[in-house]
Amino acid sequence: MKLKSVDISKTASASSIVFDALRKAIIEGDLAVGEPLRQDEIARLFNTSRIPVREAISRLEEQGLVKAQRYKGAVVAGLEPEEAAEIFDFRALLEAEIIRRAVPKMSEELLRRARGYCEAFSASSDPMTWGDLNREFHSALYNASDLPYHLEAVDNAMDRVDRYLRAQLVLSDGMERANREHMAILEACEKGNAEEASALTRMHILGAKKSLLEHLNGLSRR
């Protein structure tokens, strides 16, 4: 199992540490779809009992990153095209509203930070950083909305599709298009045009949906 060993035997929040480590490994593709999560093995890696491991896996199952399979127990969940489409439609609705609410509250410092993430994303030649920089850019803009429940829902939705988005960016013209669209969204925010930023965000997400579905359908035909 591709996980870094951590000694958390004396840590009060053992379950959270295991959860964060497993979540990161799943999102970044270090744990493959269908890979079983063996509680004894994970407990040894983290020098803890099975109780926090079981709690962490239950949280991952609630987020859709893990599913229970007969005879295998908990395994890393995959993503069907229909589910991906629903997630992106949900994101398009939610994130368009979040940024519309956020624009009037954006400070110059926040916009400078978002521009930094945007430029770093554009300049990066390392595919392993693209997913993180993409999320940092959008999060920087969304955080001004002061809508914590909405933001948590977006994070959960992004967790389900992040590993596929990374692959899609590598295998298509996704990076070039994302760079253009990010800059357009940022410029709308800098102008204080909430409606334009909202419309551009919605189109950005639906465009990524179309590209990702083409990628997933291509994989299913192989």
Q: How many residues does the chain have?
A: 222
The whole-chain average pLDDT of the chain stands at 88
**How many domains, the chain?**
2
Q: Does residue 192 have a pLDDT over 60?
A: yes
Residues 160 and 56 in one domain: no
Residues 88 and 69 in one domain: no
| Residue 71 zone, left/alpha/beta (φ > 0; ψ -120 to 50; rest) | left
Model confidence, pTM? 0.76
**Residue 39 belongs to a domain with what CATH number?**
1.10.10.10
Mark which of 76, 93, 114 sits at the end of a domain. Answer: 76
Q: Residue range 124-141: average pLDDT?
A: 88
- Report the interhelical angle of 127-142 vs 81-102 (nearest 10°): 40
Residues 42 and 116 in one domain: no
What is the predicted pLDDT for the residue at 100? 98
Looking at the domain assignment, is residue 27 inside a domain? Answer: yes
Percent of the chain at pLDDT > 90 equals 59
Percent of the chain at pLDDT > 70 equals 91
Comparing 13-22, 37-46, 211-220, the range with the smallest average pLDDT is 211-220
Residues 41 and 143 in one domain: no
- Inter-residue contact 2 to 25 (CB < 8 Å): yes
What is the predicted pLDDT for the residue at 166? 75
Comparing 29-38, 84-93, 145-154, the range with the smallest average pLDDT is 29-38
Residues 87 and 138 in one domain: yes
Give pLDDT tens digits for 201-210: 999 999 989 9
Q: Does residue 26 have a pLDDT over 90?
A: no
Q: Residue range 117-146: average pLDDT?
A: 91
Instruction: Copy the structure tokens of residue 88.
Output: 């992106």
What is the predicted pLDDT for the residue at 63? 81
Looking at the domain assignment, is residue 5 inside a domain? Answer: no
Mark which of 61, 76, 91 sits at the end of a domain. Answer: 76
What is the predicted pLDDT for the residue at 8? 54
Residues 111 and 26 in one domain: no
Confidence of residue 99 (pLDDT cuts 50, 70, 90): very high
Q: Residue range 62-82: average pLDDT?
A: 87
Looking at the domain assignment, is residue 4 inside a domain? Answer: no
Side-chain-facing half-sphere of 47: CA atoms under 13 Å: 8
Residues 103 and 52 in one domain: no
Residues 193 and 112 in one domain: yes
Looking at the domain assignment, is residue 7 inside a domain? Answer: no
What is the predicted pLDDT for the residue at 136? 95
Mark which of 76, 92, 113 sits at the end of a domain. Answer: 76
Give pLDDT tens digits for 134-187: 999 999 999 999 999 999 999 999 988 887 877 767 666 778 889 999 999 999
Confidence of residue 222 (pLDDT cuts 50, 70, 90): low
- Could you list the residue range(s) of the whole structural domain that residue 96 is in? 81-220
Residues 63 and 123 in one domain: no
Residues 135 and 159 in one domain: yes
Q: Does residue 119 have a pLDDT over 90?
A: yes
Q: Residue range 74-86: average pLDDT?
A: 90
